[in-house]
Amino acid sequence: MSRLPALTRDKLSTEDQATWDRIMAGRSGSGGPYGVLIHVPAMAERFAAVESYFRDGGTLAAPDKELIILAAARELGARFPWSRHEIRARQVGVRAEAIEALRRQGSLEALTPRERLLVDVARSLLRERNLSDDLFRQAQAELGNQQLVETVGLVGHYNLIATVANTFNLDVPPGTVTF
C-alpha cells in the first residue's frame, strides 16, 4: 500500500486536471509514480516531459532503452518500474535470457556484448555514480556521444522513478512476478 495517497484526476483542480491529461497522454495504468508526483503538478509535468523524450524520441533503440530501464530498476530494487518495463521489454524484443539474467542479478554471460555493455554502464552509474575510463571509452565507441548521453540520462531518470516507487511503496499489479 502506498505511503501517500495517489491522486486521481477527479480529485484535482481544473487546472491540475489539464496537467494530468498532458502527463497521462500515451501512458497506461493509473499513473504509477505520476499518481504521487502529481502532488506537485508543475514538477510532475517536467519529469513527464523527460520521460516522453525517452519514450517517443532519442536515438537509442527501444530494446536498448528497456534493457537500461530494467537494469536500473533491478539495481535499485524498484519492483513497480520493473513490472511495467518487463512487459514493454518483451514487446520490443528484449531477449528473455537478458531479462532473466537481470532478474537473478546473476552472470551476464548470456548477454550479447552490446547488452552487457548497457547493463555494465547502468550498474556502474548507479553503484559508482561514474564510469571508469575504460568503460567510458567502450561505451563511447559502441554508442557514440549522443546515445551515451541518452543512456546516462535514462539511468538518471529511472533513478528518480525508482526512488519515488520505493519511497512511496508503489504496488505492482496483482499476480506480477518481479524479482
Q: What is the pLDDT of residue 144?
A: 98
Asked whether residue 66 falls in the same domain as residue 87, the answer is yes
Asked whether residue 71 falls in the same domain as residue 148, the answer is yes
Low-confidence ranges of the chain (pLDDT < 50): none
Q: What is the pLDDT of residue 92?
A: 98
Asked whether residue 80 falls in the same domain as residue 15, the answer is no
Asked whether residue 148 falls in the same domain as residue 126, the answer is yes
- Domains identified in the chain, total number: 2
Q: What is the pLDDT of residue 30?
A: 66
Asked whether residue 94 falls in the same domain as residue 129, the answer is yes
In three-state secondary structure terms, 152 is helix
Asked if residue 2 belongs to a domain, the reply is no
Q: How far is residue 27's CA from residue 88's CA, in Å, rounded to a whole number?
A: 12
Asked whether residue 74 falls in the same domain as residue 139, the answer is yes
Q: How far is residue 83's CA from residue 73's CA, in Å, rounded to a whole number?
A: 9
Asked if residue 179 belongs to a domain, the reply is no
Q: How far is residue 91's CA from residue 94's CA, in Å, rounded to a whole number?
A: 8
Q: What is the pLDDT of residue 1?
A: 62
Asked if residue 128 belongs to a domain, the reply is yes
Q: What is the pLDDT of residue 17?
A: 95
Asked if residue 172 belongs to a domain, the reply is no
Asked whether residue 38 falls in the same domain as residue 72, the answer is no
Asked if residue 83 belongs to a domain, the reply is yes
Asked whether residue 143 falls in the same domain as residue 88, the answer is yes
Asked if residue 177 belongs to a domain, the reply is no
Q: How far is CA 33 from CA 6, 112, 116, in A?
A: 9, 31, 28
Q: Quick one: which H or E segment has residue 86?
A: helix 79-91
Asked whether residue 27 falls in the same domain as residue 94, the answer is no
From 56, 71, 87, the end of a domain falls on 56
Q: What is the pLDDT of residue 68?
A: 98
Asked if residue 135 belongs to a domain, the reply is yes
| Domain encompassing residue 94 | 62-167
Asked whether residue 157 falls in the same domain as residue 92, the answer is yes
Q: What is the pLDDT of residue 7?
A: 81
Asked whether residue 85 falls in the same domain as residue 161, the answer is yes
Asked whether residue 20 falls in the same domain as residue 80, the answer is no
Q: What is the pLDDT of residues 120-145, one digit of tens each?
A: 999 999 999 999 999 999 999 999 99
Asked if residue 157 belongs to a domain, the reply is yes
Q: Domain holding 152: CATH number?
A: 1.20.1290.10
